[in-house]
Amino acid sequence: MARRLVIVPERDAAKPAMGLHRGGAQPAAGQDQRLAPGGTVREPLCRLPRRQPDGQPGQIDILGVSFGGRLMVVTGGARGQGALQARHLAARGAQVIVADILEDEGRALADEIGAQFARLDVTSEADWAALQAQCGDWPLHGLVNNAGLYRPETIPDTTPEDFDLHYKVNQFGTYLGVKFAEAAMGPDGGSIVNISSLAGLRASKGIAYVGTKWAVRGMTKTAARELGPRGIRVNSVHPGIILTPMLDAWSDEDLKTRTAQVPLGRAGMPEDVVHMVLFLLSDFSLYISGGEIAIDGGLSV
């Protein structure tokens, strides 16, 4: 498998380059550190400033990531969290497919950001096959399994139909997505980001929803172990209280009460999740797989 590099700090042209090297070996004098095996020049996905203007140590600016034409699919991408992920990916040079069952909203967003649209019911094997055909010979680099259903009911109020629908969308849909990505990714592998939930880390209201999000967490780890030899990284992201349309199911009083329990003292914004998704899709996370990342202001602690 070809190595995929490289993080290169910003530097003056007259100064020697300082980068990350495998095994601690430094390149020979005059050797371009961006050379991959075979002599192909690989540009870094973003450059890291050594110092901020205030003199403090530089930090990774994830918003500076460029995906250089890599193909990314975002399910549930027509609105809410998925739409914001699609916007950020397109703005950073990715070839994006907005995949959703909401055709009008999905097509409008795709036209706006210069992406493609795919009509996708994540529970339909036929729709996933059509999506793979739409990708053609272009290797998939990233999949965000973002589509989800959230109807938090008590155990007495949860019907078998509710339970089955949550399973089909949240769990079975994620399984079909992982299977699609494994087949669509090329020899260099790629990254799968499964959107789980804080409810996949602890007890929460909604037995049908909670069960599926715990399942996504476990499926992620199994997929990471099985697909790792192919260079495919699989991680789960666990948002807490994030201000998206999904929280329309909560009353204002519920939102206020639950937010008061967050150690950081506020609800999260969709961008808080997007930044982590971008990181996991980028080459900054080449050695991260099987992880479960809580984005919840400390609520799961």
φ, ψ for residue 7, nearest 5 deg: -100, 120
CA distances from 141 to 87, 98, 138, 255, 260 (A): 17, 14, 9, 36, 39
- Residue in 150, 167, 175, 209 annotated catalytic: 209
H-only helix segments in the chain: 80-91, 103-113, 125-135, 160-166, 173-184, 207-227, 252-259, 270-281
Residue 36 CA, chain-centre distance (Å), reads 26
Phi, psi of 150 (to 5 degrees): -140, 105
Q: Is the distance from CB of 48 to CB of 60 less than 8 angstroms?
A: yes
71-75 vs 190-195, strand pairing mode: unpaired
Helix pair angle (173-184, 125-135), 10° resolution = 30
Q: Is 209 one of the annotated active-site residues of the chain?
A: yes
Using alpha carbons, select from 271, 236, 241 the residue that is nearest to residue 63: 271
* Distance separating alpha carbons of residues 291 and 33, to the nearest angstrom: 29
Positions marked active-site: 209
